[in-house]
């Protein structure tokens, strides 16, 4: 999707701010001799920014507005290496809330709803983003934060919560718990807003059916405000995103060249109005595509397809490039298994091997099921994994993100 005149103007404003602040990315632009972009072609010559650049700017090198205008910082979880610190001005915080409120509206949520927020509050952007959007919309926030499932369910019943915000893993855990306790008729939930991890259709159907709710995927990343920069609407597949705040391009992750609308590639985001830490051509490593057709809901906001995975999720097994989403797709063809699975990749006798663990019930022949799944993976993707079926509930569930792909090849030394 080509950048518009208006968006180019906004980018130029951001370039000016970055260069004059002499912040980390401003210096980079100045060193490259860039002070403005005149055309869409010029824009494509701007250098990409990467997570590594943001880490190098630790702690406050990204700060582009004067100190007295910065009202808050957030930080990416940083499970590996130096965390990234993103400064926000009051306008950034407000813009983010506006985007988030728009997400709720797209999901059909109104100021009469009661929104139970289970993502964590603190340094990272999850809980507080859901909260600010809820308040902006005028709905009632029930700011629970993660964990304490007993208390969550107690509040959900007492306050007649209508919307649950959670990671998909935690939504599943809640759904299973509610079913186990046989209290679904006491629950008034209508919608779920699910963020922060990729999830399979199977898992989605399971949560949706067990809780009897509509589900919405919210998109976002700490580096670019946080969750709330896009959400799916009630009509079709894909997520609308807010092109008055961000510009999205899809590139070939190998060459860095833009791909035509409709083709899959890596999502690259430019913030158009952010003050605290503007980012230009930020590589997210998330894989998706622009859906070129207009949405039947009538919204003019452009659409991204569901996130297919991450460029760094790609595995190479026996010379075949594999994404976890492809394995998920195959597993989705087997109604007798649960939505949980685990993939382990290891090095055995000089070769890469993949083991897939799936869950099923005692009335299914485990050996026969494993054999059928292995054959399906072979015919659809091109290599034969080792498949092992286990009892339902054996694979780990988590309140945050569930690690479904474990690569043991890098832990050998």
Contacting residues toward Zn ion, per CB under 5 A:
233, 235, 295, 297, 299
Helices (H) then strands (E): counts for the chain? 11, 21
Provide the minimum distance between the beta carbon of 87 and Zn ion in the complex, in angstroms, as a whole number: 33
CA dihedral 196, 198, 204, 208 (to 10 degrees): 10
Query: Of 233 and 304, which CB lies nearer to Zn ion in the complex structure?
Result: 233
List all residues 6 or more positions away from 44 whose beta carbon is below 8 Å from its beta carbon.
258
User: What is the smallest separation between the CB atom of 269 and Zn ion, expressed in angstroms?
Assistant: 20
Q: Write down the least CB distance from residue 298 to Zn ion, Å.
A: 7
Query: Own/partner pairs for 250-257, CB < 8 Å, 24+ apart?
Result: 250/288, 250/289, 250/290, 251/283, 253/285, 253/287, 253/311, 256/48
Output the smallest distance, CB 231 to Zn ion, in A.
10
Q: Any idea which residue has 């083991």 for tokens? A: 355
H helical segments located in 76-125: 90-106
- ∠ CA 299-126-314, rounded to 5°: 80
Structure tokens, 188? 């008034």
8 A C-beta contact, residue 31 and residue 203: no
Residue 226: φ, ψ to 5° = 140, -165
Q: How far is the CB of 117 from Zn ion (least distance, A)?
A: 24
CB of 235 to Zn ion, least distance (A): 5
Burial string for 53-80 (b: 16+ CB within 10 Å, else e) reads: bbbebbeebbbbbeeebbeebbbbbbee
């Amino acid at each position: 999707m080509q950048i518009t005149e208006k968006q180019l103007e906004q980018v130029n404003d951001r370039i000016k701010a970055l260069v004059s602040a002499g912040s980390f990315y401003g210096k980079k632009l100045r060193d490259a001799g860039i002070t403005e972009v005149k055309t869409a072609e010029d824009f494509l010559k701007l250098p990409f920014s990467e997570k590594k650049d943001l880490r190098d700017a630790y702690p406050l090198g990204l700060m582009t507005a004067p100190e007295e205008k910065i009202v808050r910082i957030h930080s990416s979880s940083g499970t590996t290496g130096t965390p990234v610190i993103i400064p926000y001005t009051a306008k950034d915080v407000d813009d983010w809330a506006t985007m988030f409120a728009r997400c709720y509206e797209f999901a059909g949520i109104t100021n009469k709803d009661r929104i139970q927020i289970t993502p964590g509050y603190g340094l990272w952007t999850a809980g507080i983003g859901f909260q600010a959007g809820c308040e902006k919309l005028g709905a009632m926030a029930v700011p629970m934060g993660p964990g304490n499932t007993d208390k969550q369910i107690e509040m959900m019943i007492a306050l007649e919560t209508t919307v649950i915000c959670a990671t998909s893993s935690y939504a599943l855990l809640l759904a299973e718990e509610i079913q186990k306790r046989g209290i679904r008729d006491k629950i008034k939930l209508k919608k779920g807003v699910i963020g922060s991890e990729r999830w399979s259709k199977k898992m989605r159907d399971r949560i949706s059916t067990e809780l009897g709710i509509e589900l919405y995927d919210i998109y976002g990343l700490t580096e670019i405000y946080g969750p709330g920069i896009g959400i799916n609407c009630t009509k079709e597949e894909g997520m609308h995103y807010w092109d008055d705040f961000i510009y999205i391009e899809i590139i070939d992750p190998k060459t860095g060249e833009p791909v035509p609308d409709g083709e899959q590639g890596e999502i690259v985001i430019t913030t158009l109005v952010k003050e605290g830490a503007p980012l230009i051509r930020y590589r997210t490593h998330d894989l998706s595509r622009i859906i070129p057709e207009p949405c039947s809901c009538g919204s003019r906001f452009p659409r991204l397809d569901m996130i297919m995975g991450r460029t760094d999720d790609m595995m190479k097994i026996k010379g075949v490039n594999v994404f976890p989403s492809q394995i998920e797709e195959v597993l989705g063809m087997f109604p007798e298994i649960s939505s949980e699975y685990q993939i382990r990749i290891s090095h055995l006798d000089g070769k890469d091997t993949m083991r897939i663990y799936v869950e099923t019930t005692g009335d299914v022949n485990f050996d026969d099921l494993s054999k059928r799944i292995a054959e399906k993976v072979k015919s659809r993707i091109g290599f034969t994994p080792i498949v092992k079926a286990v009892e339902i509930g054996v694979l780990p569930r988590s309140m945050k993100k569930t690690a479904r792909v474990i690569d043991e090849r890098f832990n050998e030394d």
